[in-house]
Chain A
Amino acid sequence: MPVIPALLAHPGTPVPAAELQRRLLAGETLLADSADHLLQVVDVLASYGEVLDAYSRNLIYQAEAQFLNPFPVLRFLDGDPSPARIWRHLLHDRINFEYAEYCMKAMLWHGTGGLDAYLDSPEFLDGCATIIARKRRRDPLLALLNPLFPGFLPELIRTAATTHALGQFWRVMSDLFRDLAIAEHEGRVQSIADVVGFLRDGLVAAAGLPITYSVEIAGERCWVLPPEAGLTFLVDVAVPYVEAVFLRGTPFLGTVSFNAQAGQIPVDQSRFAYGALYADPLPTMGAGIPPSLLMQDMYRHLPERLHGWYRRRGRGEGDVRVKICMSFQKAMFCVTNAAIAGTLPETPDERAAYAGAWAERLAIARTDCLAAEQDRPRPSVG
């Protein structure tokens, strides 16, 4: 029987901005409600929650225990240098913490929001000066480099601060996503609207959590992000995170040319559209696609229910990580949806403007994944 190419390729249909705005204002979910969607979103977030748990622990460990270590060879071992752990690490039988660092770097580099503003404040620089002064007493390398390159250590401390803040953020998100899975299991969450509502409530509840960070140097505690700075979960970390990772992202070497003369990358970072909501899931696991690391990590923590669902679709186990990426994108739209819902202003005019601005940005994202999918026949193995 002949294979018809047109049947194997499905063009995606993006959702226009006006429709997105309507859904946001009407309180409808961006993602269409269907049983398949619920299954995918809940289970992929459950596995994401497991992965974020590991990421979060490691980032916090790195920021606290590997602070200003020039050769952090064992930084992915979470302070457990047992031979078994090292062996597994060498076999690459582990979580890809590199992806957590990648998100941290994106957040640091894009530098938006309250945390970033604090990193340029005089109070922060004072804190740095104290830390450096203490540190250089017992570290000759730093003592030599600091006067020659005065920006070097503060920049590393900013990195550590962002690392720790992201670790704290993911701590909350990890718990939230795992709670969602439990809630769905107990029947408290039964639709996509429930999912968005659950996530919104979780975010709103965590909004005011303080973000602080201190390191211990020679037995003394030094504040990097002191409580006085007043940094909080939602506005100072979550919003910049969404901006840096969900929306802007960084260009993938595997799909975008960095050649300056080709001009493929915008000069203005705010025009970047490489984030999780924009990325093309099909090249996942190909060369130069960093989220492949995350997909692999989630693949290793996939709930059996979703895994079985994947096995029955497409190439089964063969393209499971692309399918994870597609489900993940749907889930991230739900999270974004919840974040928007949680931050909607009060007055109708402001609401319309706020939702309109979001709809404008999301209209060029992968909104084709929002519609409920019809089950297509699985291509035969010929």
Chain B
Amino acid sequence: MSPSPPLVAQLVWLLPLYGFSGMLLSLPWASGLIKREGPRPAAYLNLIVTLVAVLHGSLLLREVLLHGALHIDFPWFQAADLDLRIGFDLSVTNLAALEFVTGMSLLGQVFALGYLDKEWSLARFYALVGFFEGAMAGVVLSSNLFLSFFLLEMLTLSTYLLVGFWYAQPLVVTAARDAFLTKRVGDVMLLMGLVGLSAAAGSLEFDDLYAWGGSLERAGAVGTLAPTLLGLGLIAGPMGKCAQFPMHLWLDEAMEGPNPASILRNSAVVTCGALVLLKVMPLLRISPLALVVLVVVGAVSALGGALVALAQVDLKRAFSYGTTSYLGLVFLAIALQQPAVALLLLFAHGLAKALIFMSVGSIIATTNCQDITELGGLAGRMPATTSAYLVAAAGLTGLLPLGCFWCFTPLVQAFMASQPLLAFVVLLTNGLTAVNLVRVYRQVFLDQPHPKTRRTPEVNWLMALPMVSLTVVVLLTPAVFARLALLPGLDALDPLAAALVLASGAGGVAVGLMLPLQRFSARSAQPTLRWFQDLLANDFYTAQLYRNTIVAFVAAVAQTVERFDQVVVSGLARRLGTASLASAESLRFGVSGQLQSYVLTAVVALVLLLSGLVWIHG
């Protein structure tokens, strides 16, 4: 055995606990125990522990870059052949993801201090964000599926609580519920896979699972029923977490939650879900069907999300569907065994998407409005917000050599020869995203000021500072990628693929520039176009579809069971009761009457008992 790991690594278990401790530290304020003073100390404490988490993470990253990856685990629960452990894989990838998650959390928390400056429930918000961050930090470091699942479910819970933060708002009531249930469906399927794997493979450590999958492959058992189902279960959880079709609905509704949480959700949380998928990727070979499903889901989500985003008039939703779309591309990359590109895309997208949501947040804070048809002319007056939007848009589109360009090009390159259709999906997604970004930019930032944007001073420094910082980070993304040796290098890029990506991005920008602008939720006059517009604006009527199918079905079955219970089961019991014992009516005399009947019963029982026993004995 190698010498014991350095202290920063031994203390790795603290990393998720920083976030969770933030939650506990907020409790005195969140619970109302402190009544005369305001809730801000809770926010400051959370910022401090998050900062400590970032620093601890960077020390670890340095350690791992110098001395190589580490694995650290602790026993949690053992019984019979079951051994559940709290295990952490300290690899460069995981730690980079950790830095991403904690860094985002830090920026999001500073932003929230400005965005929620008039929020009295600030302590509860920070407690929830701390919980959120702790779970995410654990997920990205986790070395086994059990811990990953454990924390993913905590993420589901904290998503529910964060979406439900403004619990008195009517749409939040349903949004929080739907967000939880959609994710929960995915989680339960993942749990099915997890339970099955645990029984079949014995261990839930990712490394052991890979070995088990390998042995299954060698045994030629690939594609039989059990592995196929296991594979499907494994992808269902991340599908829910990453808001992939057909489980994407929650992300739309989750936009009812506070914007700082949306920043985290659209960047860090979906990334956590995808990282879990990335970790189980080698295992998915046992289930070819799961891989096919992954490709289909990824492609449909990529295009569907990009198309639906085009028709949204709500500022937040116009970009939340983009998250579904980009995570669809990540799914494609994972399905086609391109982990490096998938990871790059996750980071590039996460950073840029967080930035665009900060920009969106500052627009909402300034204009009290999320309807892009009522906005306009912000560009000249809000420097930080405008530059954040522009840089984020550039980072999301494969046009300028920022983050996503360096992801799309290798992706197209990888798909071009074998899967030209998928390469086309990537390019089309890029183009459609560009259309959407340009469309929104023209509508919100250019054009004439509208009544609600007549007075729009730049946001306060607590929002502007993280926004500007993240703008710089997004601009530096390619350099950071290169530094971490994640980029293939210019010479390894196929010029054709790069040209195609550039062309698709430029085409999207051109189309976006030519689109007519919508005003006051105008719908197209042309019937076909209007039908199409409505279809997309309503997200292919997915919500209605669910309401009329699954929800209606469960409700109907529940009602049937209830009626059956009332009429048949309860009725039968009543009739049996009436027939066999003294009728229920006669028993209704009150307590004394009932007592008599019970005593009678007991006496009968006693007589039966004694006579029976004496008879046996005799």
Contact = CB atoms under 8 A, between A and B. Distances in A.
Contact of B38 (A94, A109, A159, A258): A94
B121 A288 contact: yes
Interface string A230-246: 00000000000000000
21 contacts: A70-B461, A90-B41, A90-B44, A91-B41, A98-B117, A109-B452, A149-B383, A150-B380, A151-B380, A151-B381, A155-B381, A159-B457, A251-B368, A260-B314, A260-B373, A260-B521, A261-B317, A267-B520, A287-B168, A288-B121, A289-B120
B256 interface: yes
A287 B369 contact: no
Nearest to A317: B35
A152 B380 contact: yes
Interface of A: 70-73, 90-94, 96, 98-99, 101-102, 108-109, 111, 145, 148-152, 155-156, 158-159, 250-251, 253-263, 265, 267-269, 283, 285-290, 292-293, 296, 300
B442 to A, nearest CB: 17
Given A92-B40, A267-B520, A289-B120, A111 B166 contact: no
Contact of B374 (A267, A287, A292): A267
Contacts of A96: 38, 118
Contacts of B380: 149-152
Interface string B500-524: 0000000000000000000011000
Interface in B351-380: 364, 367-374, 379-380
A254 B314 CA distance: 18
A96 B537 CA distance: 41
Nearest to A259: B314
Given A109-B368, A287-B119, A259 B255 contact: yes
Given A260-B521, A286-B168, A155 B256 contact: no
B118 A145 contact: no
Interface in B148-187: 165-172
B458 interface: yes
Given A253-B119, A290-B118, 14 more contacts: A71-B465, A73-B461, A102-B118, A149-B380, A149-B383, A253-B169, A254-B168, A263-B521, A265-B371, A287-B124, A288-B119, A289-B120, A293-B118, A296-B38
A242 B456 CA distance: 21
A269 B139 CA distance: 45
B611 to A, nearest CB: 48
A292 to B, nearest CB: 4
The 9 A-B residue pairs whose C-beta atoms are closest, nearest first, are: A92-B38, A151-B380, A260-B371, A151-B381, A260-B314, A287-B121, A292-B120, A290-B118, A92-B40
B451 interface: yes
B168 A72 contact: no
A91 B166 contact: no
Contacts of A111: 454-455
Contacts of B39: 92
Given A93-B37, A254-B168, A300-B36, A158 B455 contact: yes
B302 interface: no
A323 to B, nearest CB: 15
Contacts of B364: 258
B281 interface: no
Contacts of A288: 119, 121, 165-166, 168-169
Nearest to A289: B120
Nearest to A148: B383
A109 B455 CA distance: 5
B223 interface: no
Nearest to A69: B461
Given A93-B36, A260-B370, A99 B118 contact: yes
Contacts of B117: 98, 101
A288 to B, nearest CB: 4
Nearest to A95: B38
Contacts of B373: 260
Contacts of A109: 367-368, 452, 454-455
Nearest to A250: B368
Nearest to B40: A92
Contacts of B269: none
Contact of B370 (A92, A156, A254, A259): A259
Contacts of B256: 257, 259
B196 interface: no
Nearest to A96: B38
Given A250-B368, A296-B38, A269 B451 contact: yes
Nearest to A102: B118
**Most chain A CB atoms below 10 A, which of B314, B451, B455, B465:** B455
Which residue, A267, A287, A293, has most C-beta atoms of chain B within 10 A? Answer: A287
B258 interface: yes
B461 A296 contact: no
Contacts of A267: 371, 374, 520
A72 B461 contact: yes
A140 to B, nearest CB: 14
B382 interface: yes
Contacts of B451: 268-269
Contacts of B36: 93, 300
A90 B48 CA distance: 13
A260 B371 CA distance: 5
Contacts of B520: 267
B251 interface: no
Given A108-B457, A151-B381, A288-B119, A256 B169 contact: yes
A145 B124 CA distance: 37
